[in-house]
Amino acid sequence: MLAPFPHRYSASLCRTFASRARIDAPPRPALHGGPPPRPALHGGPSPELDGDVHAGSPEHMLLSSLGLCMLTTFEAFAARDGIELLAWSARVHGTVEQTPEGPTFTSIVLELDVDIAGNVDQFEDTLEDAKRYCLVQNALRVPVVVETSVRTPCDPMHADDDVALPSWLPHDGRALHAV
One domain for residues 118 and 142: yes
Per residue, the 3-state secondary structure of the chain, as one string, reads: CCCCCCCCCCCEEEEEECCEEEEECCCCCCCCCCCCCCCCEEECCCHHHCCCCCCECHHHHHHHHHHHHHHHHHHHHHHHHCEEEEEEEEEEEEEEEEECCEEEEEEEEEEEEEEEEECHHHHHHHHHHHHHHCHHHHCCCCCEEEEEEEECCCCHHHCCEEECCCCCCCCCCCCEEEC
d(CA 140, CA 96): 13
One domain for residues 41 and 62: no
pTM score, two decimals?
A: 0.77
One domain for residues 111 and 64: yes
Does residue 1 carry a pLDDT above 80? no
- The per-residue pLDDT for range 132-143, each reduced to its tens digit, is 999 999 999 999
One domain for residues 19 and 65: no
One domain for residues 120 and 73: yes
Q: At what angle do helices 123-133 and 58-81 cross, to 10 degrees?
A: 130
Q: Which domain holds residue 62?
A: 57-179
One domain for residues 28 and 43: yes
pLDDT at 151: 94
CATH label of the domain that carries residue 71: 3.30.300.20
- The per-residue pLDDT for range 27-63, each reduced to its tens digit, is 766 555 666 667 888 899 888 888 888 888 999 999 9
Number of domains in the chain: 2
d(CA 139, CA 146): 16
Residue 53 near residue 60, CB atoms below 8 Å: no
- The per-residue pLDDT for range 6-32, each reduced to its tens digit, is 888 778 878 888 778 888 877 766 555
Please state, in angstroms and as integers, the Cα–Cα distance from residue 133 to each residue in 72, 78, 82, 92, 147, following that order: 11, 13, 18, 18, 17
